[in-house]
Amino acid sequence: MPETGPTPATVPDPDTATDAAPAPSWQPSEGTRRHFMARAHLDSIVLHLVREFEDPTAITNDLDLDQLWRRPEAEPLAAIRATLAIRNAAATLLHEHIGRARGAGHTWADLAVVLDVEKAADEARLLVGEAAFNWVTTGHIDDPRQRWRDYPTLRWTCATCGQRITDHGPVDPHPGDMERGHASDCERHRAALSAWDAETETW
Ligand SMILES: [Zn+2]
């Protein structure tokens, strides 16, 4: 009768084991590894913030030579304050990097890929760029007109003309409506307008 169930783990025999170890059958995804690495770094930033801003008793086992084998641990309320500060700082930083990406010429469709909203866009029957813009400006994928009285915008600096741009998102595809504030001689904006004219000529 054939054996069923998982193969039992075997301990390699040190006399016969070679360097060519068999490939592990399971590898964490890149997303999982990214998450756990970020998590490990954040744990240490939480401790830094608690040491800086809280009472010294807010960390147990900290810098105690007799307790070096124990992980330092922040008191929960102090840890929440520190983690909240990190989360708010990360949200601000994310918007700054998104603004830089738009300033450098990356489209909302490009951003949809790195923001991982393509599947959600498909489910909401939106263009991926639209979904990315909605998520960045409102925190929701779906059409902001259902929630907000005003159209949301994102402000960033154009790396080509140096002007502050008000980005209305890819809902209205005309470049002049989508990005307002480029210099009249901005090469990037002129190229977008020419591309738009060339495309609409074929309609
Ligand atoms: Zn410009």
136-156: pLDDT as tens digits: 998 888 876 665 566 789 999
Checking if the pLDDT of 165 tops 90, the result is yes
Using DSSP, how many helices (H) and how many strands (E) does the chain show? Answer: 7, 5
Checking if the pLDDT of 70 tops 60, the result is yes
Q: What is the 179 CA–ligand 1 centroid distance (Å)?
A: 9
pLDDT of residue 74: 93
Helices (H), the chain: 30-53, 76-103, 108-115, 118-123, 128-138, 175-178, 187-201
Q: What is the 99 CA–ligand 1 centroid distance (Å)?
A: 13
78 and 50 Cβ atoms separated by less than 8 Å: yes
- In terms of Cα–Cα distance, which of 107, 124, 123, 110 is closest to 179? 107
Q: What is the 140 CA–ligand 1 centroid distance (Å)?
A: 28
Q: What is the 113 CA–ligand 1 centroid distance (Å)?
A: 24
pLDDT of residue 61: 76
Checking if the pLDDT of 107 tops 50, the result is yes
* Residues 111, 117: Cα–Cα separation, whole Å: 9
Average pLDDT over residues 38-49: 94
Q: What is the 121 CA–ligand 1 centroid distance (Å)?
A: 28
> Please, which pLDDT band fits residue 3 given cuts at 50, 70 and 90?
very low
* Global confidence as pTM: 0.76
pLDDT of residue 77: 96
pLDDT of residue 199: 85
HSE-up of 11 (CA within 13 Å, CB side)?
Answer: 2
The most confident of the ranges 26-35, 43-52, 144-153 is 43-52
Average pLDDT over residues 183-199: 93
Checking if the pLDDT of 65 tops 90, the result is no
> Please, which pLDDT band fits residue 8 given cuts at 50, 70 and 90?
very low
Q: What is the 104 CA–ligand 1 centroid distance (Å)?
A: 10
List, in order, residues 6 or more apart from 96 with CB less than 8 Å away: none
